[in-house]
Structure 1
Amino acid sequence: MAEPKKIIIDTDPGIDDAMAIFLALRSPEIKVIGLTTIYGNVYTTLATRNALHLLEFAGRTDIPVAEGSHVSYMAIQLDPAFAKNIGQIVLLGGAFAVNGNVNPAAEANIFGDPEAADIVFTSGADVLAVGINVTHQVIMKDDERDKLAQSDGMFAKYLCKILDYYFSYHRDAYSMKGVYLHDPTALVAAINPSLMTYTEGVVRVQTTGITRGLTLFFNKQKRFEEATEWCNKPTVKVAVTVDAHAVIKLVMERLMNS
């Protein structure tokens, strides 16, 4: 077998973040060598506390947690060599050609720091973006939550105690009986990228106005005559389809066998 990929998870736990972290710890394809925290679902200090709690529950206090900045910084700005020194950035973010989940234009992670997102997308790093155009295809339903509750897996039982709130939010916000598995789907892209298909092009992020946080994808099929902010920018990969059934199956099996 190939050596597991070493990964660092940048996180703001978060219910589906917790699910993704537990999934990572149960996945032999990868080795979690650290967690870093940032604001999002909660403020940075609480994200750190939650991350430490999750690792303590999992019996993995050997994994270090580094608290991120309380204001906007990007590692790429602080260290220009960063983009070339890492293997890949797999990020959950964007709403490519669908409505956002903060407002019609923007997805939450990108909306939280669109300037930083634009720097990442144009950094030249090997970036793979998993947006809500894909994660909204991966839905855990009531019967799957029941299976988690009935299993002997410690991660499954833990998650069932906090999933009620997540299901209630989706019922109120989307009038749906189920929850989107955002973070776990992005993690699956790192575990088994063959479960998705991808396109490649330039991504820029709108940083001002009513569409602040909008991710716009340029497929580079047309050569424009005028020089613009799109010219000579590096390409990234963007997920476009997903085998939702296979993702749900993988997540369920690994959480129930914990």
Structure 2
Amino acid sequence: MTYKIDRQIRLSGQCRAKAWKERINVEFQLNRPKFESFNFFWYNHSNPIQSRKWFPLTAGLILSSSMADVAAKETKKIIIDTDPGIDDAMAIFVALQSPEVQVIGLTTIYGNVYTTLATRNALHLLEVAGRIDIPVAEGSHVTITKGTKLRIADFVHGADGLGNQNFPPPKGKPIEQSAAAFLVEQASLYPGKVTVVALGPLTNIALATQLDPEFAKNIGQIILLGGAFAVNGNVNPAAEANIFGDPDAADMVFTCGADILAMGINVTHQVVLTDADREKLAMSNGKFAQYLCKILDVYFSYHHDAYSTKGVYLHDPAVVVAAVDPSLFTYTEGVVRVQTNGITRGLTILYNKQKRFGEVTEWCDKPTVKVAVTVDAHTVVKLVMERLIES
């Protein structure tokens, strides 16, 4: 509807108000359907005095609705601390395909491969995804206490970490900041808004807590793959791989006071990608699905030999899904400590605080964390499949 500003409308005071009411009454009678879609924001701008008299409640409702819509659409900022890794690649792709989260950076760490190769693989995966805008910060090459021999799981993921495909080197480079410095910076820029999704040993995060004493308060949440709660480990009967990779760093992180959700292999071993699922990926047109089918053979072979299974555990993708939809998991809460030496090095122990111990221990004054105990595995796998196939 077009309104012409004539001499009558330019009158002031009561005449101006009267003219506006007459004009609107005429328009309402002559063209009711158009009036019903009347632009209140246009009216407010053109005649602010009258709009304040006529539409205070309507304007308030419109503004409140708009603010609610913005809040509902706000995505969770995440940084993925990763050691790619076949299941890391899958997890990164799922995150990039999930509108619920915004990947604002990757930080790299040793584990499945050495840190230098982890950085190369992270840059490569972002190029495959067409997301070279996302920064990659290279992490620590050694454990928090130094001198500890690294355990590299290339026998699980291939010598190159990506199924022995020997992809060309990426064109991109990591940023100059270290992983720990990048984590501290982002947590400070967006206090309470950044979630770290940690898929490898926890060295970078422990270094961030040392670099900035406020990091644990500034970071929104740390969702980590680590621990074997009430089950055997996957490195030895006591320890899970990521915790075993740097037990001292893990104990520092678990007790730093941050909002932590630990996803142990007691949960991730329930989330299995089967041969039938792999066939569905291969038959799809999804870019990420097709890429993963090139690198999955080594991962499937390892699981068949080590576990006699006809599928693979989706450790890292399950952790990303916990950031996307936490409702698919249930959790318990307690103090988690890590054994840092001896035959049980890397053992994670959950103290649920149901018993009060008389003697002073290294448990009583430590902050609690959340530990996942159950998972809707079918829905997690379904979500992962959908995101990869739709890529």
Does TM, scored on the shorter chain, surpass 0.5? yes
- Matched letter for residue 191 of structure 1: V
The equivalent position to 1:171 in structure 2, one of 294, 300, 304, is: 304
Residue aligning to 2:253: 120
1:43-192 pair list within 5 angstroms: 43-73=114-144, 74-192=207-325
Displacement of 1:72: 2.5
Amino acid paired to 1:166:
Y
Corresponding residue number in structure 2 for 1:5? 76
Q: 1:37 is aligned with what amino acid?
A: T
Greater RCO structure (CA 8 Å; 6+ sep): 1
Counterpart of 1:69, as a letter, is: S
Q: CA deviation at 1:78?
A: 1.9
**Mapped partners of 2:312, 2:92: distance in 1:** 17
How far did 1:100 drift?
0.4
Gaps of 5+ in 1: none
Report deviation, 1:236. 0.1
Higher strand fraction (1 or 2)? 1
* Structure-2 separation of matches of 1:200 and 1:191: 20
Q: Distance in 1 between matches of 2:356 and 2:95?
A: 41
Aligned to 2:297, the other structure's residue is in SS state helix
**Residue 221 of structure 2 aligns to which amino acid in structure 1?**
Q
Give the aligned length. Answer: 258
SS in 2 for 1:110: helix
Secondary structure at the aligned position of 2:80 is classed as strand
Distance 2:210 2:266 in 1: 29
Partner of 1:34: 105
1:26 deviation in Å? 0.2
The aligned counterpart of 2:94 is 23
* CA distances 1:65-108 after superposition (whole Å, capped 9, x unpaired): 00001123421122111111110000000000101000000000
TM-score by length of 2: 0.66
Asked if 1:253 corresponds to 2:386, the answer is: yes
Q: Secondary structure of 1:134's partner?
A: helix
Per-residue CA deviation, residues 95-131 of structure 1 (Å, 9 max, x unaligned), is 0010100000000000000000000000000000001
Structure 2 counterpart of 1:20, which letter?
Answer: A
Counterpart residue type for residue 369 of structure 2:
V
What is the SS of the residue equivalent to 1:237?
strand
Q: Give CA-to-partner distance per residue, 1:157-180, whole Å, 9 cap, x none.
A: 000000111000000000110000
Residues in 1 aligned to 2:229 and 2:299: alpha-carbon distance in whole angstroms:
24
Higher helix proportion: 2
Q: State which structure, 1 or 2, has the greater radius of gyration over its C-alpha atoms.
A: 2
**What one-letter code is carried by the residue in structure 2 that aligns with 1:212?**
R
CA distance in 2: counterparts of 1:165 and 1:150, whole angstroms: 19
Q: Which residue of 1 aligns with 2:15?
A: none
Counterpart-to-counterpart distance in 1, 2:124 and 2:377: 30
Q: Which runs of 5+ in 2 are unaligned?
A: 1-71, 145-206
SS at match of 1:157: helix
Q: 1:2 Cα deviation (Å)?
A: 3.1
